[in-house]
Structure 1
C-alpha cells in the first residue's frame, strides 16, 4: 500500500511517500515560504524520486491541525483535492501528536508546542510511556494557562517543536528542573511519522473526503475581529 503524507500546519513543510512500511522519499524544510507555492512542488519532487505518480497512491495522510490557519488549510485542500480526484481515502492526524511521535517510547510527558502569537500557543501533552495517551488535549492556550495545567504533574516534561525556544525562559521559570528540551534534530514534523499514525486509524471510505474538515482549535483572526466589532456595535446601540 502506498501512502502520501502532507504536513503544512506550521512554518515547516514535510512530505513523504511510504510503500508497504518503507519510506521511499521524503522532504522537510523549515524556511519561511508560503506553502501555497511550495507544497505541490515538494510533492512532485518526491514522486519523481520515488519513480511514482499520484495514480499509484492508495491513501493520503494529512496534518489536520492545529496550527497556522492558512498552513493547515493549504495542506488539507491539497490532500482533499488529490483524494477526490484519485478516489482514495484521506486520514487526518493531529499536527501536535505527529511531533510528539518523534520521541515516543520514553518515560516522560511529551509536550508539543507551536507559537500562536501574542504569548499564545497551540499545544498538546502526551504520555510517552503509554502510546501517546493524551494528558492535555490539543488546543489554543495562553502560555501561562498551559503551564498551569502542566505544573501539577510530578513527572518530567519534554518540550518539542521549533518554537519552544521562544518560550523556554518562561517554561523554566515555572517548571524548573521538570522541564526538558527535546534535541533540535526532532523539532520538525516528520511526514513518515504522520503516515505511521494514520495507519493506526481505521481507513475511511474514499467518498467520505467531503466530510473531512481541519481541526483549527481557534477561529480565524478575521472572524475573531468581526465578532469583536459586532460586540462593540451591540454595546453602542
Structure 2
C-alpha cells in the first residue's frame, strides 16, 4: 500500500511516501513559515522523484492535531480534498502519537508535547507494548498546565513497572527543574525525535481504520481565541467546528 502522509501541525513541515511500513522518502522543511505555499511543491517533488501520479496513492494520512490552528487546517484540508476527489482512504493521526512513535524504548513512559506557552502544553503520554508497533496512549492527549501534566505522569509511573520517562516535543527543557522534582529518571528527546515526521505518520496510518473525509476535522484540544471571543460576544453555546466556521 502506497501512503502519502503529511504534517503541517507545527512550524516544521513534513511530507513522506511509504510503501506499507517502509518509508521510501521523506522531505522536511524546518522552521517553515508558510505551509500553504510549500506543502503542494513538496508533495509534487516526492511524486516526481518516484515516478508516481497522485492517483496511484492508495491512502492519505495527516497529522490532525494538536498544533497550529492554521497549520492543521492546511494539512487536513489537503488530505481531505485528495481523498474525496480520488476516492481514496484518508487517516487522521494524532500529532502527539506521531511524536511518541519516534521512541522505540520499552518500559518507558513517552511524554509527547507541544509548548502552548505560559507553562501549558498540548501533551499526552504513551508506552510501547512488547511486540507492538503503535504507541499506546495512557495519559490522554489534552491541554495541560505543567503541574497537572507532571502529576498525571507521576501517578501513572508509580502504578506501573517502568524504568524512566522520556520527554519529546517542544518546550520541555525549560521545565527541567519541575521535572526533576518528580524524582523519576528521565531524559529529553533528541533533535530528530522532537520533530513530527510524516514517515512515522504513514506507519501509524497503515493499519488504522480510514476516516470519512467529510467528517475528518482538526483536533485542536482547546477552543480557538476566535471561538472564545464569539461565545463571549453572542452568548451562544459552542458549536461543532464546521458550524462555527460557516457562521463566521
- Shared fold by TM > 0.5? yes
Q: Is the contact made by 1:114 and 1:123 (CA closer than 8 Å) also made in structure 2?
A: yes
Cα deviation digits, residues 214-237 of structure 1 (max 9, x gap): 211111111123334567xxxxxx
Q: Is the contact made by 2:165 and 2:184 (CA closer than 8 Å) also made in structure 1?
A: no
Q: Is the contact made by 2:122 and 2:141 (CA closer than 8 Å) also made in structure 1?
A: yes
- Residue number in structure 2 paired with 1:190: 197
Cα deviation digits, residues 64-95 of structure 1 (max 9, x gap): 11111111111101101111111111011111
Q: Structure 2: how far apart are the matches of 1:45 and 1:104?
A: 30
- Equivalent runs, 1:170-209 vs 2, <5 Å: 170-172=178-180, 174-203=181-210, 208-209=212-213
Q: Is the contact made by 1:62 and 1:194 (CA closer than 8 Å) also made in structure 2?
A: yes
- Residue number in structure 1 paired with 2:136: 133
How high is the TM-score relative to the length of structure 1?
0.87
1:223 aligns with 2:230: no
1:149 aligns with 2:157: no
Can you give the 5+ residue segments of structure 2 that lack an aligned partner in the other structure? 236-248
Cα deviation digits, residues 170-197 of structure 1 (max 9, x gap): 333x324433212222111121111111
1:104 aligns with 2:104: yes
Q: Structure 2: how far apart are the matches of 1:67 and 1:198?
A: 19
- Equivalent runs, 1:56-67 vs 2, <5 Å: 56-67=56-67
- Residue number in structure 2 paired with 1:76: 76
Q: Is the contact made by 1:66 and 1:122 (CA closer than 8 Å) also made in structure 2?
A: yes
Q: Structure 2: how far apart are the matches of 1:107 and 1:38?
A: 39
Q: Structure 2: how far apart are the matches of 1:13 and 1:115?
A: 17
Aligned length: 227
Cα deviation digits, residues 114-171 of structure 1 (max 9, x gap): 0112221100001234542222100111122111211222342110014333433433
The secondary structure found in structure 2 opposite 1:215 is coil
The secondary structure found in structure 2 opposite 1:209 is coil
1:44 aligns with 2:33: no
Over the aligned positions, Cα root-mean-square deviation in angstroms equals 1.9
Can you give the 5+ residue segments of structure 1 that lack an aligned partner in the other structure? 232-237
How high is the TM-score relative to the length of structure 2?
0.84
Q: Structure 2: how far apart are the matches of 1:169 and 1:43?
A: 41
